[in-house]
Structure 1
């Protein structure tokens, strides 16, 4: 999996969300450095699982659309004496 690089602004938003979550859910204040470390850890160690799940979802959506296209093409087929 290619490494995902967030822009400075995106990373700041994600770090802030981690800080808010830790404060609200864990009653634990964490500084920016710790939140950045946690974000990097999550990205490195868990990111592949989310990435792969997204790929599987995209593949399933594409398969559904291709099935719809195949059905549409079949409906356009004209009767002939040929058999498949």
Structure 2
């Protein structure tokens, strides 16, 4: 699987959110460098779980929509005369 990559703006936003979380919830200050390494670790080690769950959820929606489409197509059928 390809390594997860984020844009510079995404990474900066994630670093900001992580630093705020550590400060607000854990009363700890971490630097941007540490936060970036932590994000890289999370992306590498836990990212595939979130990614796979996203794929699973997308597949479920796809199957539901295909089932709905099947019903719509059935409604379009014309009665056949005998």
> How high is the TM-score relative to the length of structure 2?
0.92
Alignment of 1:45-64 (within 5 A): 45-64=45-64
Hey, what does 1:32 align to over in structure 2? Answer: 32
- Deviation at residue 22 of structure 1 after TM alignment: 0.5
Superposed CA RMSD: 1.1
Question: Over residues 24-53 of structure 1, what are the superposed CA-to-partner deviations in whole Å (9 max), with x where a residue is unaligned?
Answer: 111111001110110000000000000000
Structure 2 portions without partners, runs of 5+: none
- Deviation at residue 80 of structure 1 after TM alignment: 3.0
Q: Is the 8 A contact 2:4 2:44 kept in 1?
A: no
Aligned residues: 81
Structure 1 portions without partners, runs of 5+: none
